[in-house]
Amino acid sequence: MPNPVGRPPLYKSPEDMQKIIDEYFEWCDNRAVKIWDDTKKSEIMISSPAPYTMSGLARRLGMSRRTLVDYANKDEFLLTIKEARNRVEEDVESRMNEKHTFTPGLIFNAKNNFDWKDKSEQDITSGGKPIMGGSAYVPSDHSLQEDTETK
C-alpha cells in the first residue's frame, strides 16, 4: 500500500536496512588512511578504525540522524535500529574509558544520543525531616516568646 503522505520509506524491510548498517560498521572497522612515511619517502596506508557515530550511521543509511531516530518508532525497524544504537553506544562508552581516545565530546555524545545524565545526589534534611521545596522553618510565636523571656 503506498504511503498516502510524505516521502516513501527509504527501506522496505529491516533486512534491507541491516545490510547497510553492517556495511557501515565494516567500513568503520576497516578504515585505512594515507600517511607520509619519511623513511620510505612515500605515502603508506595504515589501519585507522573510525569511531562509530549515530550521524555517521545515519549518513550511510541516506538519512539524517533525526530520521534515523524516527525510524526506530516503526515497530518493524525497532530491533534493527536498537541493536545498531547499542553498538554505537558501546563504542562511545569504550572510548570514554580509554585515556588515548577520551574527549569531552564523547560525554556530549552520550548525553544527546543515548540519554545519559549527570547524576548528583544530595540529602538535605532538617532534624531528620525532609525540607519541602521552597519552604523555610519559621518558629511559632510561642517559641519566640520563650526566647525573649529567657533573655
CATH code for the domain of 21: 1.10.132.80
Does pTM surpass 0.85?
no
In the prediction, which pLDDT does 111 show? Answer: 87
Evaluate whether residue 37 is within a structural domain.
Answer: yes
Cell readout for 43 is 605515502
Give the residue with greater pLDDT, 104 vs 128: 104
Residue 151 belongs to some domain of the structure = no
Q: Is residue 133 part of a domain?
A: no
pLDDT band at 115 (very low <50, low <70, confident <90, very high): confident
* C-alpha–C-alpha distance, residues 6 and 77, integer Å: 18
Residue 109 predicted with pLDDT over 90: no
DSSP assignments along 68-99, one per residue: HHHHTTSHHHHHHHHHHHHHHHHHHHHHHTST
pLDDT value for 140: 62
Q: Count of domains in the chain?
A: 1
State residue 47's pLDDT score: 87
Domain contains 96: yes
Domain presence at residue 100: yes
Give the residue numbers spanning the domain of 31. 14-117
For residue 90, is it within any domain?
yes
Task: Indicate the pLDDT class of residue 105, thresholds 50, 70 and 90.
Answer: confident
6 within a domain of the structure (yes/no): no
pLDDT tens for each residue of 69-79: 888 899 999 99
Q: What's residue 142's pLDDT?
A: 55
Q: Is residue 34 part of a domain?
A: yes
Q: Enter the DSSP assignment of 39.
A: T
> Residue 122 pLDDT > 80, yes or no?
no
